[in-house]
A and B are shown apart, each in its own frame.
Chain A
């Protein structure tokens, strides 16, 4: 176990549904991330949250809405998704967003949520 948990592990939803993905990290980290992983493609960074700032990938559609109530929890709210949004959604955490001289800023990943949009 990496210390990062995600629920649910699998989710099937219709295009009109509203659902949320949850991520929790038990590592005392200050930065959390959402990634989308589609088959045979590199991981795509969607959102980054830290105590200091929120960083977004401007190409992420507004039907994905992140929420970070504290440094240990991260949510991804989903509404009116499209079939092409079907993918594995990975959460990760690290000590900080930014590299420092004493921190290689390794990211620890959760097991992911396999999302299927019908």
Chain B
């Protein structure tokens, strides 16, 4: 079983709607968690990074939350736009330099 599990695997929403992507992890000892956005045919680009003491962090319409006790994170997208269509990847790093990637959630925003 992968140490970083993301859900759902894919998601289709209408433009203007909100959505939430989930990431559960077992990576330990936890150092930080990042959310990346990967457009089709491009490399991943960092959206947010959170350390153990941070519960929430925003980047424009993207808001990430972290519950280090339950080892869960979510990425909330507000007022979705067509350009939000992409894969969203959760990456969890441990202090022993072990970095684990989730398989990603494929988001499609339709007009």
| Interface of A toward B, CB cutoff 8 Å | 2, 4, 6, 40-43, 45, 90, 92, 97-99, 104-112, 114
| Interface of B toward A, CB cutoff 8 Å | 2, 4, 9, 31-32, 34, 36, 41-46, 49, 51, 89, 93, 95, 97, 99-104
Q: Separation in Å of the A49 CB from the closest CB of chain B?
A: 14
Contact B31 A99 (CB under 8 A): yes
Interface residues of B, dominant DSSP: strand
19 further interface pairs, Cβ-Cβ under 8 Å (given A42-B4, A104-B51): A2-B43, A2-B45, A6-B43, A40-B9, A40-B104, A43-B101, A90-B44, A97-B97, A98-B97, A99-B31, A99-B93, A99-B97, A104-B49, A106-B34, A109-B45, A110-B43, A111-B41, A111-B42, A112-B41
